[in-house]
Amino acid sequence: DAGVTQSPTHLIKTRGQHVTLRCSPISGHKSVSWYQQVLGQGPQFIFQYYEKEERGRGNFPDRFSARQFPNYSSELNVNALLLGDSALYLCASSLRAGGMNTEAFFGQGTRLTVV
Amino acid sequence: AQKITQTQPGMFVQEKEAVTLDCTYDTSDPSYGLFWYKQPSSGEMIFLIYQGSYDQQNATEGRYSLNFQKARKSANLVISASQLGDSAMYFCAMREVDQTGANNLFFGTGTRLTVIP
B101 vs A contacts (CB less than 8 Å)? 50, 55, 97-98
| Interchain pair B102, A97: CB under 8 A | yes
DSSP, collapsed to helix, strand or coil, labels residue B58 as coil
Number of H helices, E strands in chain B: 0, 12
What's the gap in Å between the CA of B83 and the closest CA on chain A?
Answer: 22
| Interchain pair B104, A45: CB under 8 A | yes
Q: What is the sign, positive or negative, of the torsion defined by CA atoms of B102, A112, A39, B47?
A: positive
| Interchain pair A56, B52: CB under 8 A | no
**Across the interface, which of A42, A94, A102 has its CB nearest the CB of B109?**
A42
| Interchain pair B100, A56: CB under 8 A | yes
C-alpha distances out from residue A74 to A24, A44, B36, B55, B76, Å: 7, 18, 25, 34, 34
8 Å CB contact between A66 and A49: yes
pLDDT 10s digits, A69-113: 999 999 999 999 999 999 999 999 988 777 777 788 999 999 999
pLDDT by position in tens, chain B (length 117)? 679 999 999 999 999 999 999 999 999 888 899 999 999 998 889 999 999 999 989 999 999 999 999 999 999 999 999 999 999 999 999 987 666 666 688 999 999 999 999
